[in-house]
Amino acid sequence: MSNRMTSDTAVHQGAHGQHDAASIRLFGFWVYLMSDCILFASLFVAFAVLGRSYAGGPTAKDVVALPAVLLETLCLLTSSLTCGLAEVALKRGARTQVMAWLAATFVLGAAFVGLEASEFGRLIIEGHGPGRSAFLSAFFTLVGAHGLHVTCGLLWMAVLAAQFARRGLSAVTSARFMILGLFWHFLDVIWICVFSFVYLLGAL
């Protein structure tokens, strides 16, 4: 009887310890997101200050190609939807659906990065690289920083998919996916700000 009580206590303590560790990781990630908010806020301020310094180069209207940017936006916002569907499937314990929606999210995110890289390549080929003017420096830095975050999110997603395939929907992998979901939705919010502030206002 005593051994059974000791075993039950150990199991309870182990589960409690895992919960505490998960809570600490989640809190730490929220701290990271707040620091990322400060980073992007600084980049937005820099763009607001330098956004009219064209130095005889192309203006915002010359740089912005709204149809392509709208396609980028559609890809990223749809990826947020598929990520949310993966979270719903995760709560139901449906691993196959989680993997399918995660794959769809990855493809859409990769399409976004590819379109953005194509946009940057076009501007550089036309002689409108980041060194052409203060405006282009601020543009490449702000949009590129977001694209770099999306790329990191894709790498994170690929690693997590491999863990799902090997370990299944364990408490650890599920907690990691929920943190990834927070990160991915955060990037969508940032992109809406970038799209509105940089592209829409620039096209006016």
Output the pLDDT for position 143: 96
Residue 182 clears pLDDT 70, i.e. is over it: yes
Least confident segment among 15-24, 130-139, 154-163:
15-24
Total domain count, the chain: 1
Query: Is 18 among the domain residues?
Result: no
DSSP the chain: -HHHHHHHHHHHHHHHHHHHHHHHHHHHHHHHHHHHHHHHHHHHHHHHHHTT--TTS--HHHH--HHHHHHHHHHHHHHHHHHHHHHHHHHHT-HHHHHHHHHHHHHHHHHHHHHHHHHHHHHHHTT--TTS-HHHHHHHHHHHHHHHHHHHHHHHHHHHHHHHHHH-S-HHHHHHHHHHHHHHHHHHHHHHHHIIIIIIHHH-
Q: Are the CB atoms for 120 and 144 separated by under 8 Å?
A: yes
CA distance 86 to 181: 9
pLDDT score at 186: 95
Q: What is the pLDDT of residue 13?
A: 46
> Residue-wise over 40-69: b if at least 16 C-beta within 10 A, else e?
beebbeebeebbeebeebbebeebbeeeeb
The residue ranking higher by pLDDT, 28 or 180, is 180
- Between 182 and 18, where is the model more confident? 182
Residue 93's domain comprises: 32-203
For residue 169, pLDDT beyond 70: yes
Mean pLDDT, the chain, rounded, equals 87
Lowest mean pLDDT among 25-34, 94-103, 107-116, 134-143: 25-34
Contacts with 60 (C-beta within 8 Å, 6 or more apart), sequence order: 51, 135, 139, 198, 201, 202, 203
CATH number of domain containing 100: 1.20.120.80
Residue 158 belongs to some domain of the structure: yes
| Residue 14 lies inside a defined structural domain of this protein | no
Residue at token pair 């620039």: 202
29 pLDDT band (50/70/90 cuts)? confident
* 37 within some domain: yes
Work out the pLDDT band at 64, boundaries 50, 70, 90.
confident
Task: State the virtual CA torsion across 42, 48, 51, 55 in degrees, nearest 10.
Answer: -80
Within-domain flag for 136: yes
Distance CA(194)–CA(177), nearest Å, equals 25
What average pLDDT does this structure show over 138-157? 96
Of all residues in the chain, the percent with pLDDT exceeding 90 is 65
Q: Is the pLDDT of residue 67 over 80?
A: yes
**8 or 34, which is more confident?**
34
Note whether residue 10 is domain-resident: no
- The mean pLDDT value for 44-68 works out to 89
68 in a domain, yes or no? yes
80 belongs to a structural domain: yes
